[in-house]
Amino acid sequence: MKKTILAIALAAATTTAFADTSISGHVNYKFGDLEDFNGNEDITVGTGSTSESRFRIKASTEANGVTYGIRQEFGLGAPGSSAINKRFNSLYMKGSFGKVTLGQGSEAGDDVVENDYSGTYLTQGDLGSWELGGDFAFRTPDGGRTENLRYDTPKLGIFTGAVSLDTQDTVSVEANLKGSMWKAGIYVASKGDAAGDSDEVGGSVAVKLGYFTAALGAVQVDETAAGADNDYDYTNVVLGYRSGAISVAVDYKINEGGNSALLDSETTGLNFVYRPTKGVELYAGYRTVDNSVTDTDADGILAGGRVKF
C-alpha cells in the first residue's frame, strides 16, 4: 500500500500544472537499551517517534500576487503495520494579507514550547523516541495537528502571530518574536467539547551566544473532564553547545499534577547529534527518569539516524 501511494505521488508530481512542486521526507530509525522504559528485556529497534519517518508533497502556483498551494504529508511510524498517519492534508492561500490554511495541519501553538537552538531535537524534543510508557508518562501539550482553519499574520518586524479553530471547538492563539540571536513565543488555547474543557497557556524562549545555547519552555493546563478538575505543569530547560556538524545538550524536564500520579515525573538527558553531510543526522543519547510519587526510576540509552531526501 505504501509503495502504491508513493508511486501515485511521484506520478502526480510529474504531471501537475502547478508551477512549483516538490517531494521530500526522511527516514528515522533508532535502537537502544530501553528495557527500563518500555518493559522489553532486549535491545529495542524501531522507528524514531520524535520525528517519525515520512514523505510529503508540496505544490503551489501564483496569480495576481497571491500564492495558492497544498501540502500533503504522511507519517510511516507504525512498525509492522500498513497504517499511514495523516500528518498534513491542507490547502492555503498566501499574500500580503498573511496566510490562510484550511485542512489537517498544525494548530496555532504547535511547537511554540519547543524554541531551541541546540540542534538536539531528535533525542530531547518531545521524548517520543524514548518510549516513555507506564510509570514514566510525559506530555507536552503545546498545540497539535488537527482539522482546522488557521490564519497566520504577515511578518511585522520581529513579530509573527497565528490563530486557529479546530473541529473540537479549540481556539488557539500564538505570538512569536525573533531576533538575530534569540527567539520567543507564547500561546493560549481554550477547548470545549463533549470530552471536557481545558485551558492552556505556554511558551518558550531560546538564545544563542557563540557556540552556546540555552532554552526554557513551560506550559500550564487547567483541565475539566468527566467531573474532575485537574491542573498540571510542564517545564523544560535545555543547555547546549553547537559547533559546525556537532551538537551536544543537557536537558531537564518536569511534569507535575494532572489526573494521574504517573504524570509526576522528571527526566534528565544527555544528547549528541552529528551531521556528516547535508541531510544526514546521526544521534545518540542517555536519559534517566524519576517518578516522585511511585518512588521509581529508570534509565536508557539509544542511538540512531535520520536521512532526508
CATH number at residue 272: 2.40.160.10
Q: What is the mean pLDDT of residues 127-153?
A: 80
Q: What is the mean pLDDT of residues 271-296?
A: 91
pLDDT for the residue numbered 261 = 56
- pLDDT of 100 higher than 70: yes
Q: Which helix (H) or strand (E) holds 38?
A: helix 35-38
Number of folded domains that form the chain: 1
Coil, helix or strand at residue 268: strand
Interacting residues of 275 by C-beta distance below 8 A, sequence separation 6+: 245, 246, 281, 282
pTM: 0.87
28-83 confidence digits (pLDDT tens) = 999 998 877 766 667 888 888 889 999 999 999 999 999 999 999 999 876 666 67
> Which pLDDT band, with edges at 50, 70 and 90, does 10 fall under?
low
Start-to-end Cα distance in the chain: 20
> Which pLDDT band, with edges at 50, 70 and 90, does 12 fall under?
low
pLDDT for the residue numbered 138 = 73
Nearest to 124 by CA among 50, 183, 43, 47: 50
Nearest to 140 by CA among 152, 130, 150: 130
Neighbours of 30 (CB within 10 A): 25
Backbone angles phi, psi at 226, to 5 degrees: 50, 40
AA identity, residue 187: Y
**Where in the sequence is the domain holding 148, given as residue range(s)?**
2-308
- pLDDT of 137 higher than 80: no
DSSP one-letter code for 295: T
Q: How far apart are CA 25 and CA 5, in angstroms?
A: 14
pLDDT for the residue numbered 309 = 95
Q: Is-contact 241 247, C-beta < 8 A? A: yes
AA identity, residue 105: G
